Structure 1
Amino acid sequence: MSKKQKKKGAGVYPWAWSTRGLALGVNSILLMQVSYYATESAELSIGLVSTLVLVSKLFDGITDLIAGFIIDKTKSRWGKARPYELFLIPTWILTVLLFSTPDIGTTGKAIYFFVTYLLINAVCVTFLSSSEAVYLGRSMTDESIRAKALTVSGILSTIFPTVVSIILPLLMNTWGRETGGWTKIMLVFAVPFTLIGLIRFWAIKELPEEQLQEASGETTKESNDVSMKEMIRLLVHNKYIFILSAACLFCAVINGMNMTVGSYFFEYYIGDLNQMSVVSMLGLVSPFALVLFPIAVRKIGGLNFVKIGLVLAVIGNVIKFIAGKNMVLIMLGSFISTVPGASALLMIGSIFVIQCMDYGQWKTGVRLEGPVNCVYGFASKVGSGIASGLAGALLGAAGFVGASETQTASALTAIQMSYSIVPLIICVIMLVILHFYDLDKNGEQIKQNLIGK
């Protein structure tokens, strides 16, 4: 590694790298309120909204695969992954439009909602997520600096969205009840975070191809020469990306359930939406646990760090369940759940995705970057769609009625279970899945073998 790169890694790189992540993190927080907006403001049924969100995620399976293929074929003056950072601009524009659904009848609103939401996730976020780990791997070759960048990114990508999640319920409780109020809420965040998110594009360049080949080892075949059919065949041989993606999917389900059901939990079960802001403040604690991540990579391995977070999340959700309406216990359970919490996998997942890229290259002789990353990104988006569909199914079956002043006892029970027991069960499932991901301890040896080829 050159002195110039070391200087960049020790200085501006981690901070510049984090800007797009925190901007997209804020966007994700806002999108998690789409079901609440659609039922309470656009007056669509929760069953219809959940179905539309879930169906839109199915399209991601096609677009993610196509995006990964396009990224691996990309050759531009900006590099392979860097150009796709610009998809952040239409992401924010479409988000403002999504929360500005016109009053054109139920069918018209449903079509408008579906198309706009589909464009955000199946096109814009698809290219952003599919290029994430590729961009990281091609702009920095030092593993320790990558870990530092993901740590800083994880901290900032949690602090900023958490601050937004504190402010958002207050805005929802005021502007959200006004005509055009949701549009104002989205613009408050869209303008500054679009500008912040583009800093990474302007500040970080991809490394020369020769330096990347020296760092990762030569491949027997260039990924640019791989057809779509062969790409799929090579992906099938990479078992670890599917194990990792399965865990990522369930992680996204947890996050989606907490945000989707959280609004209903505090609105109807607790009876005060503003209390959601109080609990959201606890999220400011969780990113500081990520300061330990670079140490964990060296001492116990990054995966063990994630597993510890999952165990804490299980304990925290048990406390949330037995808390009832006791806000002290709810806050305690939420605090334990978020240090570092189940979402740790999503925050630092790029490290494991790069391990999967190395493994695929070692096993097949071909380094797939975009396709490997898109499988992981696809799992995350499908997980958020499943969260919305699952929440809609559970609440709908229990008799939940949107925009109602009161809910039935069965609906309140479903809300409470969805906010605690369902995430608890999913955390246990994630622990079981990650038991089969043993690449973390063998990743360095595989990388050395590649360099030695």
Structure 2
Amino acid sequence: SPAPTRARKKALTRSDPDYVSFGTKMAWSARALSMAANVMVLGYFSLYVTDTLGLSPALLGTLLLASKVVDGFTDLIAGWLIDRTRTRFGRARPYELAMLGMWVSIWALFSIPAGASTGLKAALVLLLYTMVNSVFATLANTNQTLYTALAFPSRVAIGKVSAFAGLVISLGAIIISVIIPVGLEWAGKDPGRWSTFILFLAVPMAVLGMMRFLFVKEVNTTPDDEAEKVTFPEIFATLRDNPWIWVIFVITILQNLLLNVGAGAYYFRYIVGNLGLQSLTAVVGLVAVPAVLLIPPLMKRFKLTTIMVAGQLLCAAASMIFYVAGANIPLLVLGSLVNAVGVLPLSYMIGILIIDCATYNEWKGHRRLESIMGAVQSAAAKIGQGVGLAAAGAFLAAFAYDGTLDAQPDTAVFAIRGLFTWVPAIIALLMALGLHLYKLEDHLPQINEELAARRAAAETAGAADPA
């Protein structure tokens, strides 16, 4: 009968070692969407500081670089802390609570009194931006790799979850990226409206940010679970012996430099003439959403890094479309579509490369240290963010940008166009080169085979010597 047949199919599905339930995928993706929303909101941070608070781009760049000095310490400390954690909720899962602190700090960051003195505004920008990125986002990002390894059974399962999360994030991010420009067009340069609008976003995003903590348990074990707590000498030795995590380090710096050096908000406000129209380019991302589901099947035929290289080449092509578009909305929409497809592989699958680095650590005789690997990538992301925002601020200041003006001089318009077009194209090409040089994937079959043999030998030895 049909019912038993469906039941057998369901049983077979659940017995699949790569199976992940729909509810688990949704909870995992909800938190990922919350983090993506954080990145999108901070994409308008420079515009807020220069145009609403009235600080100069050069001062903003200096403040952000100062914040990144703190980041250089907090990422490593966060990785060390998470790899030493043992609680009834698990090792990485408790740090999901940082999502609440992150969204409270984001709202406070966009609620700085515009009437305060320049010194006070600068101090609050530095303090709150550091709280968002160096404390709360650091903990939330650093626990990602270990939490992923402990929550899902295999590389294929992680790929499936990442693809599903990419689908949810893409759909959700499109909605958010439509809402944000429209809301900020309403806010204009009014500080009270900025605060109100960011609160409107922060509350639901904080709720979504807690979904993993509430519904996704740590179900796997790793060789590090029962080991003595990790020490800093062990961390430094592992980082010294793993060249591949440093390739990812450089790629991640470039990735976040690309995300933060761009001037999309400035471009639509001063060149297109309407910040709200930026939402149109976000809508076309809907067409690209199904492409993320093609990545796991493509991984069976191509190396993941090859897929990522192709994506970066598409991003470079999109930047060239933007270059010739000017204020032409159809061309801007076309470029956005190409870019939306291009960013998918690296954005949603880089976590797999980081877990591969942990596997390499184990093969080299070290602890896996998933959290430390995640901390390295998180530190790189912060460096890329800081350098990108600082460089963009310095670049705009050098070309006479003035956020208090309703129309910018020709020199500032030139700078905005450069940050929106050819600068991202160059960065995307550098990322493609870095991914081409990442060769760990070529060695993974042999590494996994040798590790399986070692584990089998260890189990046999343990069975022979029960004492």
Residues 299-448 of structure 1: pairs in structure 2 closer than 5 A: 299-339=301-341, 341-342=342-343, 344-448=345-449
Give the equivalent residue in structure 1 for 2:165. 153
Return the index of the structure with the highest Cα Rg: 2
Residues 15-414 of structure 1: pairs in structure 2 closer than 5 A: 15-102=26-113, 103-209=115-221, 212-213=222-223, 224-258=228-262, 261-339=263-341, 341-342=342-343, 344-414=345-415
1:162-206: CA deviation from partner (whole Å, max 9, x where unpaired): 211111111111134445111111111111121122111111111
Structure 2 distance, partners of 1:234, 1:177, is: 49
Cα deviation for residue 94 of structure 1 reads 0.6
Mapped contact 1:166–1:276 kept (Cα < 8 A): yes
Cα deviation for residue 13 of structure 1 reads 2.4
What is the identity, as a one-letter code, of the residue corresponding to 1:432?
L
Shift in alpha-carbon separation, 1:383–1:176, aligned structure 2, 3 A: same
Which segment is superposed worse, 348-357 or 297-306? 297-306
What is the identity, as a one-letter code, of the residue corresponding to 1:243?
V
1:79-133: CA deviation from partner (whole Å, max 9, x where unpaired): 1100000100010101110000023210001101110110110010001100001
Structure 1 distance, partners of 2:295, 2:124, is: 42
Structure 1 distance, partners of 2:146, 2:228, is: 14
% identical equivalent positions = 31
1:204-234: CA deviation from partner (whole Å, max 9, x where unpaired): 111253xx44xxxxx7x97644321231121
Which segment is superposed worse, 276-285 or 237-246? 276-285
Cα deviation for residue 4 of structure 1 reads 6.7
1:386-434: CA deviation from partner (whole Å, max 9, x where unpaired): 1111111111111111131111111111110110100000011111111
Mapped contact 2:83–2:229 kept (Cα < 8 A): no
Structure 2 distance, partners of 1:401, 1:138, is: 49
Structure 2 distance, partners of 1:113, 1:138, is: 36
What is the identity, as a one-letter code, of the residue corresponding to 2:231?
S
Cα deviation for residue 159 of structure 1 reads 2.2
Shift in alpha-carbon separation, 1:224–1:269, aligned structure 2, 3 A: farther
What is the identity, as a one-letter code, of the residue corresponding to 2:240?
V
1:121-162: CA deviation from partner (whole Å, max 9, x where unpaired): 001000110000110001112221111100111122222222
1:405 aligns to what SS in structure 2? Answer: coil
Structure 2 distance, partners of 1:397, 1:224, is: 53
Give the equivalent residue in structure 2 for 1:11. 22
Structure 1 distance, partners of 2:400, 2:189, is: 24
Mapped contact 1:222–1:366 kept (Cα < 8 A): no
Shift in alpha-carbon separation, 1:56–1:4, aligned structure 2, 3 A: farther
1:283-316: CA deviation from partner (whole Å, max 9, x where unpaired): 3333321111111221112211111111111111
What is the identity, as a one-letter code, of the residue corresponding to 1:207?
V
Mapped contact 1:96–1:187 kept (Cα < 8 A): yes
1:274 aligns to what SS in structure 2? Answer: helix
What is the identity, as a one-letter code, of the residue corresponding to 1:300?
F
Shift in alpha-carbon separation, 1:155–1:426, aligned structure 2, 3 A: same
Mapped contact 1:268–1:412 kept (Cα < 8 A): yes
Which segment is superposed worse, 345-354 or 283-292? 283-292
Cα deviation for residue 324 of structure 1 reads 2.4
What is the identity, as a one-letter code, of the residue corresponding to 2:32?
G
Mapped contact 2:271–2:327 kept (Cα < 8 A): yes
Two-structure CA RMSD over aligned residues (Å): 2.0
Cα deviation for residue 12 of structure 1 reads 2.5
1:366 aligns to what SS in structure 2? Answer: coil
What is the identity, as a one-letter code, of the residue corresponding to 2:330?
V
Cα deviation for residue 332 of structure 1 reads 1.6
Gapped regions of structure 2 (runs ≥ 5)? 1-11, 455-467
Shift in alpha-carbon separation, 1:287–1:251, aligned structure 2, 3 A: farther
Structure 2 distance, partners of 1:223, 1:372, is: 18
- Taking structure 2 as the reference length, the TM-score comes to 0.90
Gapped regions of structure 1 (runs ≥ 5)? 214-218
Mapped contact 2:95–2:140 kept (Cα < 8 A): yes
- Taking structure 1 as the reference length, the TM-score comes to 0.93
Structure 2 distance, partners of 1:254, 1:286, is: 20
Shift in alpha-carbon separation, 1:6–1:364, aligned structure 2, 3 A: closer
Shift in alpha-carbon separation, 1:222–1:366, aligned structure 2, 3 A: farther
Which segment is superposed worse, 122-131 or 96-105? 96-105
1:325 aligns to what SS in structure 2? Answer: coil
Number of residue-to-residue matches in the alignment: 442
Structure 1 distance, partners of 2:256, 2:282, is: 18
Structure 2 distance, partners of 1:131, 1:85, is: 8
Which segment is superposed worse, 272-281 or 120-129? 272-281
1:64 aligns to what SS in structure 2? Answer: helix
Shift in alpha-carbon separation, 1:432–1:222, aligned structure 2, 3 A: farther
Shift in alpha-carbon separation, 1:179–1:427, aligned structure 2, 3 A: closer
What is the identity, as a one-letter code, of the residue corresponding to 1:360?
N
Give the equivalent residue in structure 2 for 1:216. none
1:40-97: CA deviation from partner (whole Å, max 9, x where unpaired): 1111111111221222122111000000000110011111100000100010101110
Structure 2 distance, partners of 1:179, 1:142, is: 48
